[in-house]
Chains A and B, each alone.
Chain A
Amino acid sequence: MNLRLPSETVRLLIPALSLTALLAAVFWLQPRAMSYIGLNLLFNLAVPIALATIAQMLIMAVNNLDLSMGAFVSFVACVAATFLHDTPLLGWLILLAAIAAYAALGVIIHLRDLPSIVVTLGMSFVWTGLAVLLLPAPGGQAPEWARWLMTAKPPLVPMAIVASILIALVGHLIVMRSSFGVLVRGVGGNERSVERAGWSVLAARAGAYGLAGAFAVAAGIALVGLTTSADANIALRYTLLSIAGVILGGGEFVGGRVSPIGAVIGALTLTLAGSFLSFLRISPDWQIGAQGAILVIVLALRLLLNRLENRERRR
C-alpha cells in the first residue's frame, strides 16, 4: 500500500491544472463568462479541435505524425457543406472512402517503412487540392442535422462541454480500455515485441490510421455545423493545433504514451488561451503567440514535475 498516485493520473495533473488556472483567470476577469451561454461561447470552437486532436493522438500512439490533419479536416468540411448537404448518400460514401484512404496510408507507411511526416505532407497537398476542386470559393451549406447537433441546447450543461466530455470518454474507452487500444499503444511502445507476441502490427497501424480518419471526419462535420459554410483553407491551423494539443495533454511523440482525456483538455486549453487574452484586452494580434507561450509554460512545468518524480524514485 502506498499513497502515490498512478503515473497515468500524474500525467493528467498538469494539463488539468493549467486548464483550471486559465479558466479561473477568465472567470475572474469576466464573471459573466461563468454562465451557460458564456461557457458555450468560450468552448464552442474547441469541439472540432478536440476531435482533430484525438485523431492526431491515435497517429502519434503508433509513433507516427500526421502533417495533413488540417488539410484533411478542411476537405471533410468541404464535402460536408456540399455533397453531404445535397446528396447525403454520396456524401457518406465519399467520407467512408476518405477513412479507407487513411487506413490505406497506414498500410503503405508500414509496409514500405516510410517516414510518416513526408507521406502525410504529400497527402496534405492532395486533400487541399480535392477541397479546392470541391469549393473553389468559400460557400456551401451545412447539413441541417449537423447544424442542429452543434447548436443544441441541452439542459444545465452547454453543448460544448457535453461534447468535450463525450469525446474524452469515447477516446478513453477506445484507447485505454479496449484491447485494440492496448495493441495500438503497444506498437508505439515496442513494435517488435508486439509482433513477436503474435499480433499483426500492420493491422494495428491500419486500424489506428482508420480510426484517426474517422475522428477527423467527425471534426470536419462538427466544424461545418458551427460555421454553416466551408472553405478549402478553413482548418489548416488544425495540423499544428492538434499536435500541440496532444503534447499539452501529456502525450509523447514516441513510446505510445498518450492520453485521450489529456488531449481533449489540451485542445480546450489552447482554445481558451485566445479568449483569455481578449479578456485581458491584449490585442488579438498576440492570440497565436499566447498559444505558443502556454505550450512553453506547460512543457516547462512538466519537465519540473518529471524531475521531482525522478528524485522521488531515486530516494
Chain B
Amino acid sequence: MKAVHLLAAKPWIWSWLAAAVVWTATVAVTGGAGAFGLTQAALTFAAFSVIVGTGQMFVITLGPGNIDLSVPATMTLAGTVALKLMNVDNGMIAPGLVVALAIGIAVGVGNYGLIKLLRIPPIIATLAMSFIVQSAAIWTNRGLRIKPPSLLAEFTTSSTFAIPNMAIVALLVAVIAWVLLEKSLYGRWILAIGQSMAAARMAGIPVDGTRFATYVLCAVLAALCGYLLACFSGGAALNMGAEYLLMSIAVVVIGGTSVAGGDSNVPGIWGASLFLFLVVSMLNTYGLGAGFRLIMTGLIIIGVIVVASGRRARQP
C-alpha cells in the first residue's frame, strides 16, 4: 500500500499510466498482432519529442514566462546545414554533428543575448530569433534534399537488441538531464530560480549565468534533435521542426512539470512522449482521420492541465 501511495505522489506516474492504457487499447483492437512493431515505433518517434522536450523543460523550469519558441527553427537549421556539410560522405559525420551543435550554441547565445540586452520577455526574444534562424534555414536549404550519409541513416533507423537506436540516444539524454537536474548544483540552481528569482539572487546564485546556460542547453538539444531527425527521415525539410514547437511544450506539461516553474521531472517527458504518439496510432487503428487525431490531442492537453491544477489546488 505504501508503495502505491509513493508512486501516486509522483507527478510523472500519470503520463506513464495513460501511455500504458492507450497501448493496451490499441493492441486489443489488433488482437495482439503488431504489439512489437507498435512499441518500436512508439519508442523511436517518442525519442525525438523527448530530446526537444527535455530542453524545453529546463527552460520552463526557470519560471513563469520562460519558454523557447525558437526550437523548430533551430532544428531545421541544424539539420539542413549538417546534411549539406556532410554531403553523403561518411567521413564527415563527426564534423556535421559538431556544426549542428555549434548552431545550437549560437542560437542559444543569441536568444539569451536578446533577453538580457533588450530586457524583453523570453517569448518575444526567442520568437524574433526563430524568425531569423528560419530565414537562414530557408536560405541554406533552397529546396535541396540531400541524403544523409549511409552510416548515419543506417544508425538512426535500426535497432540494437530490439531497442531502436534513437530511443537509446534519447534515454542517454534523459539520464544526463536527470543527473543534471537532481544531483548537480546547476540543477538545484535552476529549481531555485524557478521558485523565486529574487530569492535565488539574494542567496547568491549566479542567476544570469544559470539562465544563460539553460537557454544554450535547450537550443543545443533542439539542434541535436534536428540533426538526428534529418538523418532519420532521409533528408532535411523546411517544415521538419514545425510540429515540435507545440509538441515540446505539450510533453513538458503532460509529463507533470509545473508550468509555473521550479518543479520539473524527467521521467514524465518520456511518459508524455510515448503517450502522445500512442494516442495518434490508437486513433489511426480505429480508422479516425487526421482531424479527429488533432482534436483528441488538444482535448487531452487541456484535460491534463485541468486535472493537474485541480490536484495542486487541493494540496497547496
Contact = CB atoms under 8 A, between A and B. Distances in A.
Nearest to A132: B291
B118 interface: yes
A65 B129 CA distance: 19
Give the one of B138, B142, B253, B291 with max A CB within 10 A: B291
B302 A119 contact: yes
How large, as a class, is the contact surface on chain B?
35 or more
Contacts of A65: 123
Contacts of B290: 129, 132, 136
| Residue among A118, A124, A132, A244 with most chain B CB within 10 A | A118
Given A65-B123, A285-B138, A288-B131, A114 B295 contact: no
B124 A244 contact: yes
Interface in B253-309: 253, 259-260, 289-302, 305-306, 309
Contact of A132 (B67, B123, B294, B299): B294
A126 B249 CA distance: 16
A138 to B, nearest CB: 14
A136 B299 CA distance: 20
Contact of B302 (A122, A290, A295): A122
Contacts of A243: 123-124, 127
B139 A112 contact: no
B106 interface: no
B42 interface: no
A50 interface: no
B298 A292 contact: no
Interface in A113-164: 113-115, 117-119, 121-133, 136
A244 B297 contact: no
A239 B297 CA distance: 19
B301 A292 contact: no
A23 interface: no
A285 B139 contact: yes
Interface in B220-278: 246, 249-250, 253, 259-260
Interface in B116-139: 117-121, 123-124, 127-132, 134-136, 138-139
B136 A289 contact: yes
Contacts of B289: 132-133, 136
B298 A125 contact: yes
B298 A253 contact: no
B310 interface: yes
A163 B69 CA distance: 31
A125 B246 contact: yes
Contacts of B118: 296, 299-300, 303
Given A112-B306, A112-B309, A129-B294, 19 more contacts: A113-B309, A114-B309, A115-B259, A117-B67, A117-B259, A118-B301, A118-B305, A125-B298, A125-B301, A128-B294, A129-B298, A132-B290, A243-B124, A244-B128, A247-B124, A287-B135, A296-B128, A300-B117, A303-B119
